């Protein structure tokens, strides 16, 4: 159809040489025009590159190394949901979500998933969100607990680059510490302590001179620290009179994003990326610290970060000693 046969139409002009000839007026290479019998006016357009998505970061970020990697994420709560989105945004190729729980209305104030997902399995809600936001990431949704069906988790742990545990229960954290070491897989454990006052990330390496989660805690207790692990079983509250909410969503998301960064750094460091080395194996950071905790949890400023080294295995540890 010729333009004269219609009243209004849109035309696309390509002028590859224009920016060189007229640098001061900065004409884009492609311009769309809305043309009427009286006038033509430019229309803003968004030109999509043939290399769209993560390939655009090639040369600046190890896209190919992460694309081929899997991360298992144990628990997709307020910390885990944020960690899942962060992992995908770093370009992790496959994420295995493990959580048997459904999203409940009291979760929404702190969870990345919105109220429209209430009643759904958390793994399904986050899988759908990731499919929309990060279509290049493959997501497996396992609606199981890491404790009971360990036979489902164990074989998959050998295939992942790292397991990231954001469970707030002691049992699940210890199971992940144990199974990851047996599978010779790195683990990153993230939580908040002291009713959300302090964020904590512990990395566990399956190496002979590195201890498990229990060895780490006992080494700190031997030096006079409290063991914050048992208090984790209380969770972060549900917002009822008997179980008031403690940690706030933004802080939990920050911990999840830091944990995802530590997990990605762990994978990349193993791939030889020396710029991904972490300052230590145990990070503690102030979210809204209160005074009076014993070292190393005695952060007294919001935003303080303290990195500590690992602890060696204790003699006779059932996790650290080879069976
Ligand atoms: Zn141990």
Ligand 1 centroid to 211 CA: how many Å? 5
Ligand 1 centroid to 193 CA: how many Å? 21
The rounded distance, in Å, linking the Cα atoms of 124 and 78 is 15
What pLDDT, on a 0 to 100 scale, did the predictor assign at position 65? 95
Task: Say if residues 200 and 284 touch (Cβ distance below 8 Å).
Answer: yes
Between the alpha carbon of residue 107 and those of residues 104, 111, 198, 236, 280, the distances in Å are: 5, 6, 20, 10, 32
What pLDDT, on a 0 to 100 scale, did the predictor assign at position 4? 57
Ligand 1 centroid to 294 CA: how many Å? 23
Question: pLDDT tens digits, residue range 54-102?
Answer: 989 999 999 999 999 999 999 999 999 999 999 999 999 999 999 999 9
Ligand 1 centroid to 52 CA: how many Å? 45
Pick out the chain residues at pLDDT < 50: 1
Ligand 1 centroid to 151 CA: how many Å? 21
Task: Locate the domains of the chain by residue range.
Answer: 3-43, 62-308
Ligand 1 centroid to 233 CA: how many Å? 20
Ligand 1 centroid to 312 CA: how many Å? 8
Ligand 1 centroid to 296 CA: how many Å? 20
Encoding tokens for residue 123?
A: 């793994």
What pLDDT, on a 0 to 100 scale, did the predictor assign at position 102? 98
Encoding tokens for residue 27?
A: 């004409």
Domain 62-308 has CATH 3.40.50.720: yes
Residues contacting 241, CB < 8 A, separation 6+: none
Between the CA atoms of 81, 87, 91 and 95, what dihedral angle is there, to the nearest 10 degrees?
-70
Ligand 1 centroid to 314 CA: how many Å? 6
The rounded distance, in Å, linking the Cα atoms of 153 and 254 is 27
């Amino acid at each position: 159809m010729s333009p004269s046969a219609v009243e209004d139409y849109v035309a696309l002009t390509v002028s590859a040489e224009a920016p060189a000839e007229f640098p001061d007026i900065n004409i884009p290479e492609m311009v769309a025009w809305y043309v009427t019998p009286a006038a033509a006016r430019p229309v803003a357009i968004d030109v999509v590159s043939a290399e769209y998505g993560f390939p655009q970061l090639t040369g600046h970020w190890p896209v190919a190394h992460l694309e081929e990697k899997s991360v298992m994420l144990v628990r997709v709560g307020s910390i885990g949901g944020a960690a899942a989105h962060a992992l995908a945004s770093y370009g992790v190729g496959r994420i295995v979500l493990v959580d048997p729980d459904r999203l409940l209305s009291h979760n929404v104030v702190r969870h990345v998933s919105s109220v429209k997902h209430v009643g759904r399995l958390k793994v399904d809600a986050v899988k759908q969100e990731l499919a929309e936001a990060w279509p290049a990431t493959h997501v497996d949704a396992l609606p199981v607990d890491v404790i009971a069906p360990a036979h489902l988790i164990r074989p998959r742990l050998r295939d992942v680059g790292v397991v990231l545990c954001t469970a707030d229960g002691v049992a699940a954290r210890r199971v992940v510490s144990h199974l990851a070491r047996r599978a010779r897989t790195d683990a990153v454990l993230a939580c908040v302590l002291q009713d959300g006052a302090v964020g904590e990330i512990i990395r566990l390496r399956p190496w002979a001179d590195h201890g498990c989660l229990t060895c780490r805690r006992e080494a700190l207790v031997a030096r006079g620290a409290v063991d914050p692990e048992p208090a984790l079983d209380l969770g972060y509250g549900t917002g009822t009179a008997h179980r008031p909410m403690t940690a706030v969503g933004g802080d939990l998301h920050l911990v999840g994003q830091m944990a995802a960064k530590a997990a990605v750094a762990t994978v990349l460091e193993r791939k030889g990326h020396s710029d991904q080395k972490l300052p230590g194996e145990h990070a503690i950071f102030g979210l809204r610290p209160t005074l009076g905790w014993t070292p190393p949890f005695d952060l007294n400023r919001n935003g303080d970060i303290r990195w500590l080294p690992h602890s060696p295995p204790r003699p006779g540890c059932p996790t650290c000693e080879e069976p």
